[in-house]
Amino acid sequence: MTQEERAQEILTILRRTFSLPDWETTPKKPFATLIRTVLSQATNDKNRDKAFKSLSEKFHITPTVLSEADVKAIEEAIRIGGLYRNKSRVIKELSRAIVEKFNGTLDFIYSTSLEEARNLLMALSGIGPKTADVVLLFSANKPVLPVDTHVNRVSKRLELAASKADYERVRLTLQSLYSPNDYLAVHILLIMLGRKYCKARHPLHASCPVNMLCPSAKLGD
């Protein structure tokens, strides 16, 4: 079995094992996606969603509104998401920069190339490659596959990517193994696999749905 065939078999099994959440497959406004991504750092999805809901109830989620908001009010709204002081500063500074540099909108991601849109996003303080890639994939359906902590760990244990590969090498390797039409599904399904079975500590090899295709399961790592 070639690496490409094994990658496809893994995807087929994961599609049978997990269901993609409807909201994950529906394109979202880029600024809202950006804010959700900032709020997702160092917390779980439940608290991220609560923080985003609370912020949405207090403010219109636009760069203009949040750039003018009092940072303490933002802190209070997103407190449940953890690291709220740092995240509130990042949100306010990102909002201000988007107003100043892009007239208060990220709609340029729809009309520019992937590379240009990615570079423009990462030029903003607080936006790294993963955050940029999440915005581009989830909001503009750009052909990019974000690599979060789970995707990084799982892809390396499955030996879909080299064990010492950095972010860009993991991303490009995964993109070479899958069709752009599958990038969103691969991203979400690898996260689901990482959360339920391929945990950072004590991975559940025995019950993992792709253990027969995983070199790490055979080694017991």
In the structure, what pLDDT confidence band is assigned to residue 219 with cuts at 50, 70 and 90? low
Common-topology check for domains 3-22+145-219 and 28-140: no
Question: Would the pLDDT of 221 be above 70?
Answer: no
Closest to 91 measured CA to CA, from 129, 48, 133? 48
- Per-residue pLDDT averaged across 82-103, rounded? 96
Where are the domains positioned within the chain?
A: 3-22+145-219, 28-140
pTM score, whole prediction:
0.93
* Tokens read off for 105: 């909108």
For the domain spanning 3-22+145-219, the CATH number is 1.10.1670.10
Among 3.40.50.150, 3.40.710.10, 1.10.340.30, 1.10.10.10, what is the CATH number of 28-140?
1.10.340.30
CA separation for the pair 131, 34 (Å, rounded): 7
Express each pLDDT in 126-143 by its tens digit.
899 999 999 999 999 999
Three-state secondary structure readout of 162-177: CCCCCHHHHHHHHHHH
